[in-house]
Structure 1
Amino acid sequence: MSDLPRKAVTRTAKLAALPLGFAGRATWGLGKRIGGRSAEIVAREVQQRTADQLFKVLGELKGGAMKLGQALSVFESALPEDVAGPYRAALTKLQEAAPPMPTRTVHGVLAERLGEDWQDLFVEFEDRPAAAASIGQVHRAVWHDGRDVAVKVQYPGAGDALLSDLTQLGRFARLLGPLVPGMDIKPLITELRDRVSEELDYALEARAQSEHAAEFADDPDVVIPGVVHQCEQVLVTEWMEGTPLSEVIADGTPEQRNRAGQLLARFLFSGPARTGLLHADPHPGNFRLLPPPDRIADSVEAAESADDGAADESFTASGNFGDWRLGVLDFGTVDRLPDGLPRPIGDALRMTLSGQAEEVYEMLREEGFVKDSIELDPDAVLDYLLPIIEPAQAEEFTFSRSWLRTQAARIADPRSPAHQLGKQLNLPPSYLLIHRVTLSTIGVLCQLNATVRLRDELENWLPGFASALEPELEPEPKPESESERVTESEPAPEPVPEQKSGSGSESGAKSESEPESGEGAVVGA
């Protein structure tokens, strides 16, 4: 049990220990090799020790340090297996299981925010947290009206810790390179820092979650817990049972993996179209795989009456997973997209798949992905994009770590034409968060090794993409009758404005702070 370390000096020292610790272990490894140990065994030991320290430090500090760890956890799929293996377990732990803060601290926050008689609001309250994350931890409880609820309590000092951590991490981002080889984490740190105020505001989170819960209330595939109560530092929502996606990644059947992957892709693209909001924290700890309503009660009862092993089996018993649902948690970070995902994304995908190099290049230039001072070969740009969007072309596509590693290696290799071209591309500020969320979701799909009909979701929900692989046919002109002709004295009626699905005025507001654009980051963060 540990309080969140408050002093900036203490936090900075712990963060600085990460690259210094790696250097020390590398020296230790060199000594072992000189002593006759094989390079492969020594390297594995160094990576395992580094992974252990990574979880220990980022987990204990919580705040921005743990937020970075959670964000990195979905990108391990892009790393070579010999590198990713030791980090996978350590980073996955950060998705749901950080060291919790002491019970006295939790009670203190609840007393301050809900009143000294806060316990009267609950029939039951479990002091042991169900999950501990970057800026708060969740306790299971029973609300005074009998509903099972999740009580999220924000760590005291979380705001200062977030800003301090991300500022310090940004200063020695290059030194952190060896912790996750092959990744440039500075743009990720910058983007996380720009979202601090939203992450800490539970009123904004409650509003975003309520809008999603209302929109998806009758949805057969996606479940959003409703908001029960909110005040500063405390958010109470309906409790949701289910199998965490991290468990599906570790031990799920192919049917579970495919169903989870399909629903994750559906939520990514349907959410903005239906609510005007993009859920911007898609790590596995924020998703659950749920049985259909008529089976969930039986599953919960079986799980509660069984030992740990049998409890897991009760939720994942063999059967038809085609009617299982995706539960979504944590709406602390969202992108406000009142018109849904930008239409140029769908248009560019459609034209790329159709081989329209010149048109794609002009659109990228218009949207700011290619700066005015840069001249590129449109055909080279098309060659750069096509392998990345392969999942959108196939009727169904199996996302895998090996596929993502191939893409990452192609773009990261300094000798590769793709690397040279990628360095000249620009990422406009309005696309930064969309870019990270899309990459993160792809990372999770690859962790799931899910076979997904991505094109179906794009055609249903992404503006501009529909009929991407079908030629656009000009309608045949119909013969004009006298009654159909529009005369000069009888003007044509005005077109009816197109009705847009999305959120109201609240979700239409843009973020107060626009992050800076990033160069050479269109594919790899």
Structure 2
Amino acid sequence: MTSPDRPGDERELPTSSLARASKMLSLPLGAAGRQAVGLGRRLLGADADRVDAELRAAAAEQLFAVLGELKGGAMKFGQALSMFEAFLPEEVAKPYRQHLAKLQDSAPPLPSSRVQAVLRHELGPRWRERFASFDLRPAAAASIGQVHRAVLTDGTPVAVKLQYPGADQALRSDLRQIERLAGVVAPLAGGVDVVTISRELAERISEEIDYTLEAENQSRAAAAFAGDPEFAVPRVWEATPRLLVSDWLEGRRLSSVAEAPASERNRVGLAYVRFLFAGPARAGLLHADPHPGNYLVLPDGRLGVVDFGLVARLPDGLPSAMGRLIRLAIADDAAAMTRGLADEGFIARDVDAGELLGYLGPFVEPARVEEFHFDREWMREQFLHVRGSSARHGVAMRLTIPPVYALIHRVWLGGIAVLAQLDVTAGFRGVLAELLPGWHD
């Protein structure tokens, strides 16, 4: 029997492969049942459009309930979906948007008894002596942990991130199930390769579940951006493999900026892009989890950045070829661009240079002009272009992503998706010119 002082009781987080697989399987089974009910209602004369809308709303409810309850890898998958919903047609995206957005920072919390068990296990039986106060109610939830507000004995407000008991086992189980079921849920992501996303996460699972490694990443970033007038990275006070104590950042969610005036959206969106590209140069790290739940707009206007569990370590900064290759694409020099991509390891099989340039057009379009408007409609149009171009010429099947670029690629696409969600008009090209190595070569 597990001691009550150890966080081994996993009743709140089912980790057996069978239990978690059955939860994930409820998604496609639920979809099949809804379709059958919908067909019956249509046959009985119900309005088809209204039935379809109700079915989509029900699917969104189920998706949130299942993924939110599982946490772990399923939550990570839900966060990826919420970031890429800009790909979806508006009539499909609308019922999913609200529910998927919740997955960015929301999940059923651990009860206070389990919270205290984790604290005793990580900090010892006298853990309360480290804090002047500790709120046992979570302030936010992440994919494999939840965050509590506390105050240190010296009066410093801090965030205490606790890992869910059994999260490591749950995460591995979820990712295996997600790979198997990716084909079923891929339509919700607008065709995004969710299998690749899940494999990428799985490869870095050992780092994400060890908060001491996250603390090292965050401390490096905090030192690099200390005193910065535009960005704030919380200092780390203490870390164990399943607990992380850092400065509390008070602010509003990045996603809330979508409702702000255009000037605010544009300012914050540009800061978001600048941080993504500044990290490798200043800290040797690329923050590789770009979903909006990791960003806060602070009262003084700075952009606060949290959750450094998933990073790309780039001690020499971004690859020096990036800026040069993008400039070649902007100049429509298909031959030189193709040679450069081949040298970097992006081309697995022979490909026509002109077709490749056409295929990659959407990825570099925002860099062609001084100021670019990112919105959902543009995002969907570019996705359809890429999918259609690949279908006609098979370009995608001839390309690969070298390991050093895997997370860079994810951040590039994810960052653009967030800008489209926020409806940002910004000088994207200027950020690249300032921060991308090789741009001026």
Q: TM-score, normalised by structure 2?
A: 0.95
Tell me which residue corresponds to 2:171.
162
Distance 2:46 2:229 in 1: 57
Is 1:389 matched with 2:351? no
Distance 1:265 1:379 in 2: 29
Selected match of 2:286 from 248, 253, 278: 278
Selected match of 2:206 from 197, 201, 222: 197
Is 1:347 matched with 2:321? no
Larger Rg: 1
RMSD value over aligned CA atoms? 1.5
Aligned pair count reads: 431
SS of corresponding position for 1:174: helix
Is 1:98 matched with 2:72? no
Distance 2:49 2:322 in 1: 44
Tell me which residue corresponds to 2:440.
466
Cα deviation per residue 1:225-283 (whole Å; 9 max; x = unaligned)?
Answer: 1001112211000000111112222x222122111110011001111011111001111
Tell me which residue corresponds to 2:222.
213
SS of corresponding position for 1:151: strand
Report the residue type matching 2:242 in the other structure.
Q
Report the residue type matching 1:437 in the other structure.
V
Flag the structure with higher helix content: 2
Distance 1:8 1:454, change over 3 A: same
Distance 1:259 1:183 in 2: 28
SS of corresponding position for 1:75: helix
Tell me the CA shift for residue 152 of structure 1: 0.3
Tell me the CA shift for residue 180 of structure 1: 3.5
SS of corresponding position for 1:74: helix
Tell me the CA shift for residue 442 of structure 1: 0.7
Distance 1:370 1:257 in 2: 37
Kept in 2: contact 1:395–1:453 (CA 8 A): yes
Distance 2:67 2:413 in 1: 22
Selected match of 1:227 from 236, 244, 261: 236
Tell me which residue corresponds to 2:251.
242
Is 1:252 matched with 2:229? no
Distance 1:177 1:395 in 2: 35
Distance 1:61 1:255 in 2: 38
Distance 1:147 1:278 in 2: 28
Kept in 1: contact 2:374–2:419 (CA 8 A): yes
Is 1:368 matched with 2:321? no
Kept in 2: contact 1:392–1:455 (CA 8 A): yes
Tell me the CA shift for residue 181 of structure 1: 4.3
Cα deviation per residue 1:463-522 (whole Å; 9 max; x = unaligned)?
Answer: 01138xxxxxxxxxxxxxxxxxxxxxxxxxxxxxxxxxxxxxxxxxxxxxxxxxxxxxxx
Distance 1:184 1:6 in 2: 25
Segments ≥4 residues shifted beyond 6 Å: none
> Any stretches of 5+ residues in structure 1 without a counterpart?
293-323, 468-525
SS of corresponding position for 1:166: helix
Selected match of 2:402 from 428, 432, 435: 428
Report the residue type matching 1:463 in the other structure.
P
SS of corresponding position for 1:260: helix
Report the residue type matching 2:202 in the other structure.
R
Cα deviation per residue 1:330-361 (whole Å; 9 max; x = unaligned)?
Answer: 00110011111111221110111122111111
SS of corresponding position for 1:240: coil
SS of corresponding position for 2:289: coil
Tell me the CA shift for residue 39 of structure 1: 2.2
Distance 1:14 1:387 in 2: 37
1:15-30 matches, within 5 Å, as 15-30=24-39
SS of corresponding position for 1:98: coil
Kept in 2: contact 1:410–1:416 (CA 8 A): no
> Any stretches of 5+ residues in structure 2 without a counterpart?
1-10
